[in-house]
Structure 1
């Protein structure tokens, strides 16, 4: 006698096989991989500053940063002109602060550069962006690597050429 299975029985068997396979996979150790998160933003943009300071900052507060590979890119709507000049949506100050923040990213690990960017963007929301250098002292961060990056031209490269 040949046993015939209807489609519901076949689905139950397939489901059981999947559950057993999944259970076996969960028992085996899995190499820890971080979730990749890239954020392209721009200085002097209220929407960017609000997102960074009120939302993204929470991944540091609740330690989700431990499982996130965060890549910040302060480029925004900047455009390279035909003669190599940079034009930013919010003017010269945006270009300057994008470069400063890119240099901070280049100079420090994620915890430090995010704190610095958070400080600069908070000043931006308070319309005090020209006071960005006070963030070094507030956070007890050595400004040398960032200021050297900005003044040497490296800031241009890390900001607009990756």
Structure 2
């Protein structure tokens, strides 16, 4: 009986510890399109510099490349229609595949590199080479059924949002979206994230 009590107490302690760690973090969701000018500006001028400053220890970032695209299915074939055309669908697939292969830090660097290029959809290989990544795996994924399935998953996540996106990029903080969150994110993402930690939480040093 004493042993059972000890085990329960220990599990409760670790559960509270894990919950406390999560409570000290901020979650950022970025729903975007690879050829969208507003998405490009947000990623290169807000997201990437902010993560460079604040790091990822206290921030969970989810990049969701889909935006205002749509898809249809015929048997095992998934076809996509993207706001900025077929090239954007390809760029979205590349980044969806990269998301499945890379950790968050490497993914953000890769996406920023692509979005900083004059033709983001064609920059995957050179950006991968700069980071020493295996682009062949990402490219094969993007050109095959796996890439289509991964992009569909990004679409499902985007279309499940409440409220529904009416502007891209669509930003959520701690799984919430408001006009204030959206407007602040586009102009001052760093300030928004620093202000979004719960009271008493230890913020990243870059917030000071």
* CA 1:38–1:128: 2 relative to 1, 3 Å: closer
Question: Are the counterparts in 2 of residues 45 and 90 from structure 1 also a CA contact under 8 Å?
Answer: yes
For residue 32 of structure 2, the aligned residue among 35, 38, 41 is 41
C-alpha spacing 1:97/1:151, structure 2 compared with 1 (3 Å)? same
Shift of 1:59: 2.8
Moved over 2 A (4+): 81-84, 126-132
The answer for unaligned runs of 5 or more in structure 1 is 1-28
Within 5 Å, which residues of 2 pair with 1:30-69?
31-33=20-22, 34-69=25-60
Structure exhibiting the larger radius of gyration computed from Cα positions: 1
**Distance in 1 separating the partners of 2:41 and 2:83:** 17
Aligned length: 133
1:127, distance to aligned residue in structure 2 (A):
4.1
Q: Distance in 2 between matches of 1:118 and 1:128?
A: 9
Q: Which residue of 2 aligns with 1:79?
A: 70
Query: Unpaired runs of 5+ in structure 2?
Result: 1-16, 155-208
Q: Is the 8 A contact 2:124 2:135 kept in 1?
A: no
Q: Give me the TM-score of the superposition, normalised by structure 1.
A: 0.74
Give yes or no for contact 1:103–1:150 (8 Å, CA) kept in 2.
Answer: yes
In the alignment, the residues of structure 2 paired with residue 136 and residue 36 of structure 1 have an alpha-carbon distance, to the nearest angstrom, of 26
Structure 2 distance, partners of 1:87, 1:56, is 26
Q: Match for residue 102 of structure 2?
A: 108
Aligned to 1:26: none
Normalization by structure 2: what TM-score?
A: 0.58
In the alignment, which residue of structure 1 is the partner of 2:122? 130
> Do 2:97 and 2:147's aligned partners in 1 also have CA atoms closer than 8 Å?
yes
- With a CA cutoff of 8 Å and minimum separation of 6, indicate the structure with the bigger relative contact order: 2
CA drift at 1:60: 2.2
Taking only aligned residues, the RMSD between alpha carbons, in angstroms, comes to 2.1
Give how far 1:88 is off.
0.5
Give per-residue Cα distances to partners, 1:23-68, cap 9 Å, x unaligned: xxxxxx8721121111100011110011001101123211342211
- In 1, Cα distance between the equivalents of 2:53 and 2:145? 36
